[in-house]
Amino acid sequence: MATKKEKKYVAASPEVEEAVTRTGKVKEAKPVGNPKPLRIDAFLLWILALAFEVCALFVFLGKLDLKFIPQLYQLIGFLVLDLIAVIIGAQLWKKANHIDPVSEENSLKFWLWNNMGLIACAVCFFPFIILVLTNKDADKKTKTIATVAAVICLLIGGLFSYDWNPVSIEQKDAAMDTLGSTTVYWSTFGKVYHTHDDCQHLNRSETLTYGTVEQAIAANRVRLCKTCASRDNITGLATDD
């Protein structure tokens, strides 16, 4: 059995801390943020990533040359900047989707919407890879290094851009209807939220964040702990820890 640790409790927001201090319960769930700026920023970052991809291609073709940096360093540098912009954009997009999820009635639309970051990643690296591989004028060493670097960036970007924990509006509404103003808890590295801070799966957690179920979902804890669900006789919200 995991050894219990003394816990530090951190409120998800000042409003939650005030409500719990005053009444012992969190308030009814309220909007936890505006997803629109996050989505706009994500698109801007993906456009920037495309610009870096174009710069990398221009360096490869010899149409762009920063004289003080060797060509291969320029090429890899632009690809890395491309990767960084792609990943940050994807994280913002996923955060927006956890604040304002879409319906899962159309499974294809649901997948595409939640994985726009993955699509952007493909757009920001696949064209470069194809153009490099089909170029007959560049030397073999440059083509090999450029291709390998781009493929590695594509794989890393895809790994971080894919939404491994999507949530639908149906899931969010069901959680809010079932739990209402119930205080939920989640750990720093956990994947679920809990309705009991003494849950056995939290024994080794030193810091717990508490708030509304909507705040938990916005923090990427989209499902209820299976053990807590069993204790509360709740069905439909749980998952394995």
pLDDT score recorded for residue 130: 96
Three-class SS of residue 194? strand
d(CA 43, CA 63) in angstroms, rounded, equals 27
Phi, then psi, of 77 in degrees rounded to 5: -60, -45
Encode the chain (241 residues) as per-residue pLDDT tens digits: 455 567 788 888 877 777 676 666 676 545 577 899 999 999 999 999 999 999 999 999 989 888 888 989 999 999 999 999 999 999 999 999 999 999 999 999 999 999 999 999 999 999 999 999 999 888 888 899 999 999 999 999 999 999 998 999 999 999 988 988 889 999 988 889 999 999 999 988 889 999 999 999 999 999 999 999 999 998 878 754 4
Nearest to 93 by CA among 125, 127, 121: 121
**3-state SS assignment for residue 146:** helix
pLDDT of residue 27: 66
Q: What integer pLDDT is reported at residue 1 of this predicted model?
A: 45
Rg over alpha carbons for the chain, rounded to the nearest Å, is 23
Q: 83: Cβ–Cβ under 8 A, 6 or more apart, which residues?
A: 49, 153, 156, 157
CB 27 within 8 A of CB 92: no
Which tokens is 24 given? 């012992």
From the number of C-beta atoms within 10 Å of its C-beta (0-12, 13-18, 19+), residue 224 rates as: buried
Q: Specify the pLDDT at position 24.
A: 64
**In the chain, what are the helix, strand and coil shares in percent, each to the nearest 5?**
60, 10, 35
Q: Are strands 224-225 and 207-211 parallel, antiparallel or unpaired?
A: unpaired
